[in-house]
Structure 1
Amino acid sequence: MNKSIQKTNMSYVYLVTITASLGGLLFGYDTAVIAGAIGFLQTKFELSAAMTGWAASSAIWGCVFGAMLAGYFSDKYGRRKVLFMTAVLFSISAIGSAVPNTLSQFVMARFIGGVGVGAASMLSPLYISEIAPANKRGMLVTLYQLAIVLGINIVYFINLKIANYGTETWNIEKGWRYMLGSEIIPAALFFVMLLIVPESPRWLASKNKTDEASKILNRVNGSSQGGKVLNEIKEALKEEKGTLKELFSKNLRPALIVGMVLALFSQITGINAIIYYAPEIFKNMGFSTDSALFQTVIIGAINTIFTFVAIGFIDRAGRKTLLLWGLSGMVVCLFGVGIIFYTGQTSSIWTLIFILGFVASFSSSLGPIPWVIISEIFPTKTRGLAMSFATLVLWLGVVAITQFTPIMLKDLGGAFTFWVFMVNTLILLIFTFKMIPETKGRTLEEIEKSWRK
């Protein structure tokens, strides 16, 4: 009987998690779809290098604004309502970026989609963490990271199929429109599935809607455990003021620092440089274009496979332990890539081994774990606002790394560029060891109480 109840509860939790994770899939889909379209778009609108960069990065600036605004609105109006709005923004962007006649129209549509991405990037993991049972929360939030990776891989495949459907002329006129417009399918699915999932029980409790919160918690945890969790939430809420001043108070300031450092360093330790510029890096090493693109596909596969490693171990080994091991592997691999560039042995098989080792280490640790920890460590009343701060820092890191990596590769060379990333990783390794608490198996209220002590 107990097994049946537990199975039913987990089926419901998985439904809710998969729905929220579609926000991650759209995150990956939206940020990667431009890769297949940008070359055709450049020819269509006769763009200079600067304007091509603006067309490609316009969505990222939307992400910055989305991350800034989503926390306030989700704390005020609810997680689910704002997730609905992100689904609408994704849909508008998909249609708008598929039909423009001018670059300005295209940039506006992509910016709107970026606002949705930025909002979903903090809201989806937050929503999952607030509804998940404590002993499964790490694995369930990590599914969000897996969805991002799958979204990237899916859209690469769709872009390839669309590009191969017609001639170069057809792609310049229409192909890129189908690539960008294809996002309407996952966006519509996200909207429909949000209709069948509940509001966050912790947000409901913070608004004194305890009966609704109780029903959801009982369905997730069982009536006995659900009642216990609800009491913990009520007790924690009594301690919370829910103000911006509280977030920067002596008790909670360490949590905010942990969230912002994790968010920033997840971007400035080199993963985006490798994902975005891998073909160029491999070509500069002497590989042919076809070989470089094939090795990029291998990177995508490794990224996916080792995200499953994180899913399997995050609730058993713990967040901190997994992060320490992964960061250590990243340091070794970045040092190795730097040595290879420094000695000029870039055509060596060791280049590929170290880069794949870096991706594997990242995907099993620094890829998913910041999303998990950031969604766990803040109080309920200010969790949305606090995650907005952290996610805003993350997106500013994305902007910086996208902007400066080509400059670093050109002016510093490959060796010193990768050694800069290695130093950043080493800083985060020390920070993790000294500052980040282990949160596995603890309720969100127990984690909050530990900061107040």
Structure 2
Amino acid sequence: MALINTGAGANAIGVQKGNKFYIVLLTLVATLGGLLFGYDTAVVNGAEKSLVDFYITPMLDPANYNSITAPIIHQYRTVFVVVLFIVVLIVCTLIVKLLTKKKGLPVSLIIILALIIWSYYFLTQALPTVAATIKDTADSIKGFVISSALIGCIIGGAAAGMVSKGIGRKNGLFIAAIAFLLSAVGAWRPEWFNVFGVMDVYSFVIYRILGGIGVGLASMISPMYIAEIAPAKIRGKLVSFNQFAIIFGMLVIYFVNYVIAGRGDAEWLRTEGWRWMFFSGVIPAFIFFVLLFIVPETPRYLAMKGRNEEALKVLEKIGGKEEAPIVLTSIQGTLHETNRPWLSYGGLVIIIGLLLSVFQQFVGINVVLYYAGNIFRNMGASTDSSLLQTIIVGVVNLVFTVLAIFTVDKFGRKPLMIIGSIGMAVSMLALGLSFYFNQQGIGALIFMLIYTAAFAMSWGPVCWVLLAEIFPNSIRGALSIAVAIQWIANWVVSFTFPMMNDNVGLVEKFHHGFSYWIYAVMSVLSAIFIWKLVPETKGKTLEEIEGFWKKK
């Protein structure tokens, strides 16, 4: 997963020494948004098998065709088309911003027209009746249900800039906290809180989308809040806590899932256990919601809204009365930064930003983070063992993420990214071969851990360092298109994995190895991309990096 370092507030809190305790307190509260980001997106890892057994498996029983299978498929098509339209409208909005209205509107209208034609075909085709076709459709629905939170992430991520600018950073985090709370409760008992007029499985999907909106908001606003509240000298370290919190949140929920799974047998886990995995999110979400009452709005936002006296009080509390007026003046001097068209520096910087986001997801990391339990069960592990092994994956992810944070300025961005890509390619190739030759065991687990370590020390945090550095200040808003594409790519990978991994024909030929070879190929392509196109930004000022694009 990724930290969205917006760069906002890069000059927010001057050079003051700061009230360290108060600053750390505010940072910890804001990083709860990051923790919930990791917690909410990874909770599905432990619940995935039970969700499938509870909602999807009954579809495959011919006796349930009229009562369960046909209605689920029919509503799936409708809900999927609605979701696709939302995602496409977000993409089209970004296209218009990128290409301007004159060029962007015609392109967007063509895309929307094509989607309308496809949707008509998709909605009007006959329902499948052959067992193999029903199985393929069930795999699609499985991917849709498991990855549903990511749809919300796309929406929340796209709205985060508008929300943070319109109602403030603090209120944006409040909305995220409420979304987390409602999602945890709704996903716990989707049939009790089904006010949407859909089948219970899609009530669950809607509540997961709501949680994803919270993730999307927090993914941008949490690091933005920290960046705008922190003194310049320690801003980088404090913002990096948010990345740590995301990975730590994943590790916490892996452990929570393991504990909950141990409370009952397989039948209890299928009917009740998965519910408590989602409901457990109420605890950190409620703590986050309550603690937000004690933190102030950021000085930069207050100054943007002309609330200078309030901004001054916050600055005094953070860094003392002597420096507060100086810092406020500094903030006011950055409020009128010029915004240039996104293509002012040519298309290369945009293309690199988009490809960084796409490759970060297409190498398959979120398959590991969301489906690790499924992968380990395919290796022959029991449910308990698979959840325990998932905890090991989480620990490795955390350790190597911290390692990357401390080495990115020493070894450089490109070497870490290329080495990470090679490590991922080799380990995914080996993992696919271990499945293909039915040699799953300790070796396959080691390949999985090597892959996780390789990603965590490279494409995880370092990708976001590059994205934060390569976009010049005057087109910083273009980062939003890279963020949106990252969430969309995340959704595509998570949605398609069950279709590749569980497809009957592919399983017969490749024994679950096919999808891992796809991710290995993507890892190789990512290494070539970094080597050929991405500039090294280590030790360069933002002005020097900006000059690189001007030369292009």
Name the residue aligned to 2:155: 65
Give the Cα–Cα distance (whole angstroms) in 2 for the partners of residues 447 and 221 of structure 1: 32
Q: Which amino acid aligns with 2:167?
A: Y
Matching of residue 305 in structure 1 with residue 393 in structure 2: no
1:386-425 maps to which residues of 2 (within 5 A)?
A: 386-409=478-501, 411=506, 413=510, 417-425=515-523
* Offset, 1:209: 5.1
**Percentage of identical aligned residues:** 42
Structure 1 equivalent of residue 207 of structure 2: 109
TM-score of the aligned structures, taking structure 1 as reference length: 0.79
Judging changes above 3 Å, is the alpha-carbon distance between structure 1 residues 140 and 404 closer, same or farther for their aligned structure 2 residues? Answer: same
Structure 1 segment 319-398 matched on structure 2, within 5 A = 319=413, 322-337=416-431, 344=437, 346-347=439-440, 349-375=442-468, 386-398=478-490
- In structure 2, the gaps of 5 or more residues are 1-14, 60-137, 192-199
- Contact 2:312/2:328, CA 8 A, preserved across alignment: yes
Residue 267 of structure 1, CA deviation: 1.1
Q: How many angstroms does 1:210 deviate by?
A: 5.7
Question: Superposition pairs for residues 57-96 of structure 1, below 5 Å?
Answer: 57-96=147-186
Give the counterpart letter for 2:289 in structure 1: F
What is aligned with 2:360? 266
1:186 positional shift: 0.8
1:17 to 27, 30, 35: 27
Greater mean alpha carbon deviation, residues 218-227 or residues 293-302: 218-227
1:32 and 2:36 matched:
no
Alignment length (residue pairs):
442
- Structure 2 residue identity aligned to 1:265: F
TM-score, structure 2 normalization: 0.67
Letter in 1 for 2:483: T
d(CA) in 2 for partners of 1:66, 1:144? 18
Change (3 A) 1:378 1:350: same
Secondary structure of 1:266's counterpart equals helix
1:85 deviates by 0.7
Residues 196 and 290 from structure 1, CA distance in 2 versus in 1: closer, same or farther, beyond 3 angstroms? closer
Q: Distance in 2 between matches of 1:340 and 1:160?
A: 26
Decide whether aligned partners of structure 1 residues 337 and 55 sit closer, same or farther in structure 2, where only a CA change above 3 A counts: closer
1:81/1:307 CA distance change after superposition, 3 Å: same
Q: Over aligned residues, Cα RMSD in angstroms?
A: 4.0
Give the CA deviation at 1:151: 1.8
CA distance in 1 between counterparts of 2:391 and 2:337 reads 50
User: How far apart in 2 are the matches of 1:315 and 1:220?
Assistant: 28
Amino acid at match of 2:252: I
Asked whether the equivalents of residues 136 and 315 of structure 1 are also in contact (C-alpha less than 8 Å), the reply is no
Instruction: Provide the rounded CA distance (Å) in 2 between the counterparts of 1:321 and 1:369.
Output: 11
Q: Per-residue CA shift, 1:121-140, capped at 9, x if unaligned?
A: 22223333344445544443
- Bigger Rg, structure 1 or 2: 2
Shift of 1:77: 2.6
CA contact (8 A) 1:83 1:120 kept: yes
Kept in 1, the 8 Å contact 2:150–2:491? The answer is yes
On the 8 A contact 1:163/1:171 being kept in 2, the answer is: yes
Contact 1:138-1:314 within 8 A present in 2 as well: no
CA deviation vs aligned residue, 1:235-272 (integer Å, no higher than 9, x gap): 5544413xxxx352313865544443332222111212
Query: Against the structure 1 CA distance between its residues 40 and 88, is the aligned structure 2 distance closer, same or farther, given a 3 Å change threshold?
Result: same
- Contact 1:125-1:372 within 8 A present in 2 as well: no
Partner Cα separation in structure 1 for residue 544 and residue 316 of structure 2: 19
Superposition map of 1:160-199 within 5 A:
160-166=258-264, 171=269, 174-199=272-297
Match of 1:251 among 324, 345, 349: 345
Q: Judging changes above 3 Å, is the alpha-carbon distance between structure 1 residues 431 and 197 closer, same or farther for their aligned structure 2 residues?
A: farther
